[in-house]
């Protein structure tokens, strides 16, 4: 035992101690006037007071003594073996399984394990996704008859075993297994467990079972990368895409069948493809075009035919879900600036399940290439509505402007939104669009592409402009008739607007400023409907908390343009974040009901049930969340096809239904890859290479265990102990009593000698 003395002055300052001592010595030097005391009595009192001052000096310096001492310490060797189903794969020789090889090794080292004592213990655990302690009873390990674990979490179990043994020293860890990590959601990543072993200075010895794999051992076909769900409009073509991973069947024709099945279980489409892999472990793409001819929910099933010698066939099939919507509204949105209504309008349109948005930015900096080739889409694809915002007429060819006028005349809808390059200032006077829009243009209204702000102000309204509805109309009805005007006035005003030169005959002003400037004008051209909106800043509504009003206004506007304003429909919806789940995973979903105009139906009651593969139904409890509801399903254990059904009830009458199908996968991750991951075990052991950690062949394990038992690390620990004056109750009380005795003794003598 060795030690050192040192002092720790109060306030960590020798200056403070010095000043205090000088004050005390000064008081001692002044001293009392002892009067008639004899010299001996005077010396006695001075001695007592000097000793008291020295005691106070000790208290202020706080003398300390630190010493180290060696004490015996217990330690543990942790042995982990793999209990997951991948151990039932072929072993190293191919004659036995990995599990049989591992059990044989454990039986071999049982006598060695029995030789560990209390100072150096051995603790044995099985592992899959969690630890399974196994005690040595009468020198025998209680080993399971078979490997049953559904997944392997190497990182999580390694970290868990270290946490369980924090109370004592871990001298080493021996990890047996095939190195395959199959846990869907591991608690700790493998490299984090390796870093923890490295930090603790614990050597890790990994023992591999199984082969790295060859073509014969790894024969397998698997369908991958098929999207979980598709949403398309009826009569629209789409492509079903996926991948077939091929192991061990190179240069062979492999049939892949794609089927589409409706809600009644009837097959409505089937096609078989032949795929060929030119090298092992290759992903071969599959593509099938399909045009649904009826609305509804469908299941897309892709299956590659089982081949001779294939050990795992559960991953030969993969399903996706198809939702076919009734004729959707296809909207073309061309805009010339990243500012304006497109900040929110694009999301509003795209978020509607019955609307398909095609949008394109045609910026001013591309004007050297005008007419812009991207606007050719007007002639190439059919659209129900065309929206132009802040886009100069020169960006669109004369042929496409004429095509736009023809579309509207045939019954399509057209909307022009305000901006410096919209309406007359945008050069639309004298073009076919001038005949379509419900407002008129002045002869000299067009401005140059480089026009100054002073010129622009002549064509635009300035400042904050509230919008006021003029009469009743499906587009502008945001609230009950009695509250509609006040609702509009509560919305954020426009940041300026285009100034319309005039309104065409038979056109109608729907919104105006308080000064009667027209802001939204509706009209007709041929069989189509048209709108001119002078503003470009209703996107502010969402920022101000009027998201519902913004969505309702634009949705009603679009429905009016396509003659659907009178449709009364209640849309019940259910939304799943994904359509494929692993057994045990929780499923979270959202559901709700709204009208065609986008209003939430708060007075409707929703009833949700989920159906398992056996057809049994289970009621789901819903929790309100903002303008909809949330639900959770936790009992998804059996693989197979499931579905959620939602019914909306109003006055005990069903007013709408919705359905969502999903699948619990039977991936059998432990069987999907017969190859042992020996490289991963070697990589993991190398985290502790500095402490001696390494990959150890199974036949070397008995010698390793003997070495760990017979040559244990130093099992003594150096403990540092610190003593400080007053640091313990005994010291503090003894010191306090000494001062009390000195003071009492001095006072007693002074009283006895007549000084008090």
585-628 confidence digits (pLDDT tens): 889 999 988 765 555 666 678 999 999 999 999 999 999 887 78
Q: How many residues does the chain have?
A: 756
The pLDDT of residue 123: 93
Residue 455 has pLDDT above 60, yes or no: no
Quick: pLDDT tens for 392-445. 999 999 999 999 999 999 999 999 999 988 999 999 998 999 999 999 998 777
Q: Is 550 exposed, middle or buried (0-12, 13-18, 19+ CB in 10 A)?
A: buried
The pLDDT of residue 717: 56
If pLDDT is split at 50, 70 and 90, which confidence band does 327 have? low
The pLDDT of residue 2: 66
Question: Would you say 283 and 224 are in contact if contact means Cβ atoms under 8 Å apart?
Answer: yes
Q: Report the distance separating Cα 61 and Cα 55, nearest Å.
A: 10
Question: What fold characterizes domain 220-325?
Answer: Immunoglobulin-like (2.60.40)
Q: Which CATH class is domain 570-664?
A: mainly beta
Question: Would you say 367 and 395 are in contact if contact means Cβ atoms under 8 Å apart?
Answer: yes
Residue 137 has pLDDT above 90, yes or no: no
Q: Report the distance separating Cα 127 and Cα 409, nearest Å.
A: 72
Quick: pLDDT tens for 255-274. 999 999 998 889 999 999 99
Closest listed residue to residue 611, CA positions, set 657, 660, 665, 666: 660
Quick: pLDDT tens for 641-696. 899 999 988 888 888 888 888 988 876 667 666 678 898 999 999 999 999 999 99
Q: Report the distance separating Cα 532 and Cα 522, nearest Å.
A: 7
Q: Report the distance separating Cα 339 and Cα 321, nearest Å.
A: 37
Residue 336 has pLDDT above 80, yes or no: yes
Residue 68 has pLDDT above 80, yes or no: no
| Average pLDDT value for residue range 169-178 | 94
Quick: pLDDT tens for 6-44. 788 887 788 887 888 888 777 766 655 555 678 888 888
Q: Report the distance separating Cα 50 and Cα 28, nearest Å.
A: 8
Q: Is 682 exposed, middle or buried (0-12, 13-18, 19+ CB in 10 A)?
A: middle
DSSP 507-575: -EEEEE-TT--EEEEEEEETTEEEEEE----TTHHHHTT-HHHHHHHHHHHHHHHTT-TT---EEEEEE
Tokens describing residue 20: 């205090």
Give me the chain's average pLDDT, please. 86
If pLDDT is split at 50, 70 and 90, which confidence band does 1 have? low
Q: Which CATH class is domain 329-561?
A: alpha beta
Lowest-pLDDT choice from 274-278, 537-541, 657-661: 657-661
E strands along 235-375, which residues? 238-247, 254-261, 267-275, 282-290, 296-304, 317-325, 329-335, 355-361
The pLDDT of residue 635: 77
If pLDDT is split at 50, 70 and 90, which confidence band does 214 have? very low
Q: Report the distance separating Cα 217 and Cα 663, nearest Å.
A: 30
Instruction: Please tell me what DSSP assigns to residue 285.
Output: E
Quick: pLDDT tens for 561-587. 988 766 545 578 888 888 888 787 889
Question: Would you say 261 and 294 are in contact if contact means Cβ atoms under 8 Å apart?
Answer: no
Residue 549 has pLDDT above 80, yes or no: yes
CATH architecture of 75-202+676-714: 3-Layer(aba) Sandwich (3.40)
Lowest-pLDDT choice from 163-177, 363-377, 499-513: 363-377
| Average pLDDT value for residue range 322-331 | 82
Break the chain down into helix, strand, coil percent, rounded to 5. Answer: 30, 35, 35
Any idea what the Cα angle at residue 358 is, between residues 571 and 569, rounded to 5°? 15
First CA to last CA across the chain, in angstroms?
52
| Average pLDDT value for residue range 200-222 | 80
Any idea what the Cα angle at residue 257 is, between residues 253 and 259, rounded to 5°? 170
Quick: pLDDT tens for 504-524. 999 999 999 999 999 999 999
| Average pLDDT value for residue range 440-469 | 77
- Could you give the percent of the chain with pLDDT greater than 90? 44
- Could you give the percent of the chain with pLDDT greater than 70? 91
| Average pLDDT value for residue range 198-215 | 84
Question: Would you say 154 and 181 are in contact if contact means Cβ atoms under 8 Å apart?
Answer: yes
Q: Report the distance separating Cα 504 and Cα 287, nearest Å.
A: 52
Closest listed residue to residue 176, CA positions, set 678, 692, 708, 703: 678
Q: Report the distance separating Cα 217 and Cα 374, nearest Å.
A: 53
User: Which sign, positive or negative, has the C-alpha torsion 455, 456, 461, 463?
Assistant: negative
- Name the helix (H) or strand (E) containing 721: strand 716-724
- pTM of structure: 0.49
The pLDDT of residue 314: 78
Longest dimension (CA), the chain: 133
SS3 of residue 341 by DSSP: coil
SS3 of residue 346 by DSSP: helix
Question: Which residues have CB under 8 Å from 368's CB, separation 6+?
Answer: none
Extents of the domains making up the chain: 2-69+721-752, 75-202+676-714, 220-325, 329-561, 570-664
E strands along 563-626, which residues? 570-576, 580-581, 587-595, 605-611, 617-619, 622-625
Domain 220-325 and domain 570-664, same fold? Reply is yes
Residue 706 has pLDDT above 60, yes or no: yes
SS3 of residue 93 by DSSP: coil
Quick: pLDDT tens for 279-320. 988 889 999 999 898 888 899 999 999 999 786 787 898 899
């Amino acid at each position: 035992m060795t030690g050192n003395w040192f002092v720790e002055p109060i306030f960590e300052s020798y200056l403070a101690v010095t000043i205090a001592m000088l004050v005390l010595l000064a008081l001692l030097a002044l001293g009392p006037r002892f009067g008639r005391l004899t010299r001996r009595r005077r010396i006695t009192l001075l001695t007592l007071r000097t000793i008291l001052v020295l005691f106070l000096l000790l208290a202020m310096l706080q003398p300390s003594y630190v010493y180290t001492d060696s004490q015996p310490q217990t330690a543990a060797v942790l042995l982990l073996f793999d209990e997951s189903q991948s151990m039932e794969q072929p072993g190293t020789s191919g004659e036995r399984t990995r599990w049989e090889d591992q059990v044989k090794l454990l039986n071999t080292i049982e006598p060695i394990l029995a030789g560990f004592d209390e100072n150096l213990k051995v603790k044995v655990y099985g592992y899959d996704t969690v630890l399974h302690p196994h005690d040595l009873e009468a020198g025998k390990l209680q080993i399971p008859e078979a490997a049953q674990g559904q997944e392997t979490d190497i990182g999580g179990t390694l970290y868990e075993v270290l946490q369980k043994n924090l109370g004592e020293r871990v001298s080493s860890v021996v990890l047996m297994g095939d190195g395959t990590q199959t846990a869907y959601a591991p608690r700790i990543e493998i490299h984090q467990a390796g870093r923890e072993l490295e930090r603790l200075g614990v050597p890790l010895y990994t023992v591999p079972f199984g082969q790295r794999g060859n073509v014969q051992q790894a024969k397998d076909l698997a369908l991958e990368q098929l999207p979980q769900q598709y949403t398309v409009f009826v009569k629209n073509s789409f492509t079903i895409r996926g991948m077939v991973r091929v192991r061990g069947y190179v240069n062979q024709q492999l049939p892949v069948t794609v089927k589409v099945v409706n809600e009644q279980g009837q097959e409505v489409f089937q096609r078989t493809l032949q795929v060929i892999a030119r090298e092992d472990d290759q992903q071969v793409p599959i593509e099938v075009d399909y045009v649904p001819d009826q609305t509804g929910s469908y299941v897309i099933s892709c299956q590659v035919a089982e081949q001779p010698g294939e050990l795992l066939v559960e991953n030969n099939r993969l399903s996706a879900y198809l939702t076919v919507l009734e004729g959707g509204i296809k909207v073309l949105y061309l805009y010339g600036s990243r500012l304006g209504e497109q900040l929110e309008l694009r999301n509003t349109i795209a978020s509607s399940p019955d609307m398909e948005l095609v949008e394109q930015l045609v910026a001013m900096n591309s004007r050297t290439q005008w007419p812009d080739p991207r606007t050719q889409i007007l002639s190439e694809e059919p659209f129900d509505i065309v929206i132009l915002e802040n886009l100069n007429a020169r960006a669109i060819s004369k042929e496409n402007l004429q095509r736009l006028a023809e579309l509207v005349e045939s019954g399509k809808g057209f909307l022009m939104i305000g901006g410096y390059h919209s309406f007359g200032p945008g050069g639309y006077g004298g073009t076919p669009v001038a005949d379509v829009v419900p407002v008129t243009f002045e002869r000299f209204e067009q401005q140059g592409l480089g026009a100054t702000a002073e010129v622009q102000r002549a064509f635009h309204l300035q400042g904050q402009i509230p919008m006021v509805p003029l009469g009743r109309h499906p587009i502008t009805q945001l609230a009950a008739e009695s509250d509609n005007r006040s609702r509009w006035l509560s919305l954020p005003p426009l940041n300026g607007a285009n100034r319309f030169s005039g309104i065409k005959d038979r056109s109608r002003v729907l919104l105006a400023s308080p000064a009667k400037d027209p802001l939204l004008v509706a009209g007709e051209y041929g069989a189509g409907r048209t709108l001119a909106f002078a503003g470009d800043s209703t996107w502010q509504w969402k920022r101000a908390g009027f998201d519902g009003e913004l969505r309702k206004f634009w949705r009603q506007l679009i429905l009016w343009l396509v003659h659907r304003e009178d449709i009364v429909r209640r849309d019940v919806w259910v939304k799943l974040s994904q359509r494929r789940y692993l057994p045990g995973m929780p499923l979270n979903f959202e559901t709700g009901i709204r009208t065609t105009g986008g209003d939430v139906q708060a007075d409707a009651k929703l009833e949700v049930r989920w159906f398992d593969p056996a057809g049994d139904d289970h009621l789901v409890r819903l929790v309100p969340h903002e303008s909809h509801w949330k639900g959770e399903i936790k009992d998804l254990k059996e693989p197979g096809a499931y579905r959620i059904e939602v019914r909306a009830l109003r006055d005990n009458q069903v007013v709408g239904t919705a359905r969502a199908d999903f699948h619990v996968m039977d991936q059998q991750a432990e069987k999907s890859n017969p190859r042992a991951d020996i490289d991963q075990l070697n990589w993991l052991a190398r985290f502790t290479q500095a402490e001696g950690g390494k990959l150890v062949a199974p036949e070397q394990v008995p010698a390793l265990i003997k070495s760990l038992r017979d040559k244990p690390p130093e099992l003594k620990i150096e403990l540092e102990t610190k003593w400080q004056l007053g640091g313990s109750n005994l010291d503090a009380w003894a010191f306090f009593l000494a001062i009390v005795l000195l003071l009492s003794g001095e006072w007693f003598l002074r009283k006895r000698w007549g000084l008090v």
